Amino acid sequence: AQKVTQAQTEISVVEKEDVTLDCVYETRDTTYYLFWYKQPPSGELVFLIRRNSFDEQNEISGRYSWNFQKSTSSFNFTITASQVVDSAVYFCALSEDRSGNTPLVFGKGTRLSVIA
């Protein structure tokens, strides 16, 4: 069965610090997708990134970067030079590729607080 673990429940950093959010996943499939979502205090879920299991290239988007390592089943998310607007709950999620039935399984989330 698929599982996503976000061991960090809450993280607090001072503005401009770098912060890494950890995500470890379990799956028996060789084809799968990994996601990160942001949930700001307003409550909506904002899609950040999708990564498929065949693409282990790290990705950078502005201050955001993602490190995908199949060898350790991890898909970590780093925010560089954090800002107060980054304060949110961040979810890592996994979708296995099975004939079109692709339920998304979420981790429990990491609450990030960035203090000015």
Which residues of this protein are in contact with another protein, per CB under 8 A?
9, 33, 35, 37, 43-45, 47, 50, 52, 91, 93, 97, 100-109
Cβ atoms of residues 94 and 25 within 8 Å: yes
Name the minimum Å distance from CB 44 to another protein: 5
Nearer to another protein, 76 or 95 (CB): 95
Q: Which of 1, 78, 81, 3 is nearest to 36 (CA)?
A: 78
Name the minimum Å distance from CB 80 to another protein: 22
Distances (CA, A) of 8 to 27, 59, 69, 89, 111: 20, 22, 18, 11, 8
Q: What is the DSSP string of 8-23?
A: -SEEEEETT--EEE--
Name the minimum Å distance from CB 76 to another protein: 17
Name the minimum Å distance from CB 98 to another protein: 10
Name the DSSP class of 31: S
Nearer to another protein, 1 or 116 (CB): 1
Nearer to another protein, 15 or 105 (CB): 105
